[in-house]
Structure 1
Amino acid sequence: MVRAVSSVTPGAAKMHDLGAPISTSQTKYLELLARYYVRKGEHIAAARMLLILAERQCSNSEEAPALDKRYEYLRDAVLQAKSAGIAADLSKNPVDSSTVDLLEGKLVVLRFQIQIKEELELMVARLENIPSSSELPNVPFPRDNILANAETAKAAKDKAKELSLNLKSITQLYNDYAVPFDLWEVCLEMLSFANYSGDADSKIVREVWARLLDQALTKGGVAEACSVVKRVGSKLDPADGACLPLDIICLHLEKAAVDRLSSGEELVGDDDVARALLGACKGLPGPVLSVYDHLLSNGAIIPSLNLKLRLLRSVLAILREWGISVIAHRLGTTSAGASFFLDGTFSLNQTGTANQGARDKIISLANRYMTEVRRLNLPQNQTENVYRGFRELEEKLLSSY
């Protein structure tokens, strides 16, 4: 499912490995040779030796270097390739930068391999510590569950051992290790690294996000899902709609929040989802507001009035956060300090004015969404707090000038 991440360009053609397994005794000679090349200032040759050491094929676990050791070799290879570039710049004899790009790409893929191996080992430990059937009297078909857990634990253990033996490609890591064990978080990171784009690729990313969110909701409800969104989203580019489909994420979380609140299954705060999306977008309100605006303007997507009210509550939270950040920037204070202004205990007139353009935009949006709240065919006691929140935000910002 994952495309080839990078290909070796002609300039990096000499960076391939030896292919055949390398014995432990041969490893020592290669290490000596790498150190020799470093001392001689032959950085590309040193990088090649270090790459061979990092990618050495092993037929058994006794001879295989630990992944951390492979990482060390590969990291040093990157440093040597960069040193070659610096030396070339000084001598005005350029070196093909694709060598560094290739090695850095391999280093990222190795990080994924280490991450997947660690997650599989954690999975094994967790499954092996599940109580026996005699300790689970209220669980239906406990024997079936235990057998399934044992099989999963064995499969995960075997795959972790495979990952310890030799390096894998990003395609292998995705298809053979991450997907079969529902490691959706690392799947998204790999898809992002592989620069997935286009309609077909976007569909895959959206499906992985949906599975990740469902997994988090099952594990710990909306709170856990929001935490996952902040953690994973912060590693991605908010402008990359392919790998960070905010519309899918937002709708998934807000629907779950409404369902869990109405059933009494979970107490979800009005701004929990909004704050998670802001965290995923590194605090930028623009992309998040655009998503909410798109959802609110499409009745086919949001047919439920209660869900629409939930979205409007989230918009209010985002506008308040934006207002606080604008005020904090202008006053040279923290967000906590700026929040005193919106809470009614502080006046901007005392020290200055907030950014006019941003302030005007927030006021305009608050006024617009105030109207949206009034249009909802819901009892006033359900909408009044939201309406009043937009109105107070508008009035507070207007009164500062």
Structure 2
Amino acid sequence: MKIKRFSVFLIVLLFLVGSLTIPAPTLAKKAAFKDVNKNHYAYDSIQWAYDVELVGGFPDGTFRPNQPITEQQFGQILVKFFDLEPTSNKLTKYTTKALASDPFYNTLAAYKVPLNGYFDNNIRGQAIKRGVVAQALTHVLDGQATLKDSIQFLLDHHITSGQYPQYENTDLIKFFGSSNQLTRAQVVTLFHNLQRKSFFYISEDALNSFENNDALPLNTRANAARNILASSLRTGKDWSPISNTKDSWNGDYSYFYRYGRGETDSIGRYVTITGSTKTEFYVTYDAFDGEDEGFVQGYATILSPTKAMMTETVEGNRCVIEFQKQSSTALKTIEHDCKNMRDAGTNYSGVLKK
């Protein structure tokens, strides 16, 4: 079952009043772009897409119909065409620079539309493949589907066609040209076909994801969306709290120094870090300075890729310790104020090794 969203089409009926009324002459409409003349196969589609503000051109007055369309350009058109509801949630990306496409990707993730560029600005700017377009459109129109089923859906409804007739009855994916890019003209023609056939529906799968009754984080839904794509079309990586292993603070670090012959004539620090994410980690900190010793646990906030700070223990006691990542195997700790660790306070500043 599909649920139709509200689309408003204003039809103005003009009636001639009186048999002697002479209609005013109409002027031919000027082409929207100087590089798309009336003989271009996609002229009507491009004109339509421009008129309904689905697409724009370039500052020099061109449309560049033969230029490959990027994933973020396709995503923007998809959001506008289906009038997808915006979401207040925001994706966390590996490439943190803000882009104009961010709100569109937030919306697409909420509907779990299969795309690659949710977490990577560079992927967003790459040309999108026909197979990705097929799976994205079919997900919105008919629900989650494999690449083959997505292609078959578009072919069955005459929304688009294949590119290699020699494979029509032997290899659907090759017949469709799944790994090929689409031009800007081809994409607006595809959406014009949807408009002509009144495909303004949104699938239950997409709507259920947007309603999010399971309260899934937006990044989790974006991961799920990426994994709908056929493996041959997938690029980039899923979101995880740690972007890659070198960013993790996790590990056991220690420092030990004996300055005398007595049992307590030594200084040591033993630190264990677990649960490292992009924003924090959990630390167990064991210290002894001669007869003075202490033990604390708490969460440290990551301030930069190489610096973190703990300000209180899990019991809520003040304990300020700075952590500086020296390398993948070395960690410097600076004890600013942690009197709760031991009676005499702490003042250690030094490097611990894994």
TM-score bracket, normalised by the shorter chain, equals under 0.3
Work out which structure has the larger RCO, using CA pairs closer than 8 Å and 6 or more positions apart in sequence.
2
The structure that has the greater radius of gyration is 2
TM-score (norm 1): 0.25
Give the number of the structure whose residues are more often helix, by fraction.
Answer: 1
TM-score (norm 2): 0.27
Give the number of the structure whose residues are more often strand, by fraction.
Answer: 2
